[in-house]
Chains A and B, each alone.
Chain A
Amino acid sequence: MRLYATVAAGGFRRHATYRVATAAGVFTNTVFGFILSYTYIALWAERPQLGGYSMEDALAYVWIGQALITVCGLMGGGFEDELIERIRTGDIAVDLYRPADLQTWWFSANLGRAAYQLLGRGVVPMAVGALVFDFTLPSGPGAWLAFLVAVVLGSVVSFAIWYLVAMSAFWLLDGQGVLQVAWLGGLFFSGMLLPLNVFPGALGEVARVLPWASMLQVPADVYLGRYEDAGALAGAYAFQGCWALVLFGAGRVAQAAATRKVVVQGG
Chain B
Amino acid sequence: MVAGMWIRSTMTYRSSFALTLVTSFCVTLFDFVVILLMFGQVKGLGGFSFAEVALLYGTAGTSFGIADLTMGSVQRMGKRVRDGSLDMFLMRPAPLLAQVAADKFALRRFGRVAQGLLVLVWALVLLDVAWTPVKVVLLPVMLVCGAVIFAAVMVLGASALFWVQDAAEVTNSFTYGGNTLLGYPPTIFAQELVRGVVYVVPLAFVNWLPALYVLDRPAPAGVPEWAVFASPLVAAVCCGVAGLAWRAGIRSYRSTGS
Residues of A at the B interface (CB closer than 8 Å) are 18, 20-21, 23-25, 27-28, 31-32, 34-35, 38-39, 41-43, 46-47, 50, 172-174, 176-178, 180-181, 183-184, 187-188, 193-194, 198-200
Contacts and interface: CB of A to CB of B under 8 A. Distances in A.
- 9 shortest A-B CB distances, which residue pairs? A177-B19, A180-B23, A42-B188, A21-B166, A31-B173, A20-B166, A46-B42, A177-B16, A24-B169
A34 B190 CA distance: 10
Contacts of B184: 35, 38-39, 42
A174 B31 CA distance: 26
Given A41-B188, A43-B38, A180-B24, A24 B167 contact: yes
Interface of B: 13, 15-20, 23-24, 26-27, 30-31, 33-34, 37-38, 40-46, 164-170, 172-174, 177, 180-181, 184, 188-190, 193
B48 to A, nearest CB: 9
Given A21-B166, A43-B45, A176 B31 contact: no
Nearest to B34: A193
Contacts of B168: 24
Given A28-B170, A41-B188, 7 more contacts: A24-B166, A31-B177, A46-B45, A173-B13, A177-B18, A181-B23, A183-B27
A37 to B, nearest CB: 10
13 contacts: A18-B166, A20-B165, A23-B167, A31-B177, A34-B193, A46-B43, A176-B16, A177-B17, A180-B20, A183-B23, A187-B27, A198-B37, A200-B37
B56 to A, nearest CB: 12
A28 B16 contact: no
Contacts, number: 107
Contacts of A31: 173-174, 177
Nearest to A30: B173
Chain B contact residues: helix, strand, loop or mixed: helix
Contact of B37 (A21, A35, A199): A199
Contacts of A34: 193
Contacts of B20: 176-177, 180
Nearest to A20: B166
A184 B30 contact: yes
Contacts of B180: 32, 35
Given A20-B167, A43-B41, A38 B193 contact: yes
Given A177-B19, A193-B34, A198-B37, A39 B188 contact: yes
A167 B20 CA distance: 18
B173 A28 contact: yes
Contacts of A188: 30, 33
Contacts of B38: 39, 43, 194
A12 B149 CA distance: 38
Contact of A184 (B17, B27, B166, B172): B27
Given A27-B170, A47-B41, A38 B30 contact: no
Contact of B44 (A46, A177, A181): A46
Nearest to B18: A177
A46 B43 CA distance: 8
B35 to A, nearest CB: 9
Contacts of B188: 38-39, 41-42
Contacts of B43: 46
A200 B34 CA distance: 11
A53 B46 CA distance: 20
Contacts of B42: 43, 46-47
A21 B167 contact: yes
A180 B16 CA distance: 10
A25 B45 CA distance: 29
A180 B27 contact: yes
A183 B30 CA distance: 12
Nearest to B24: A180
A188 B28 CA distance: 11
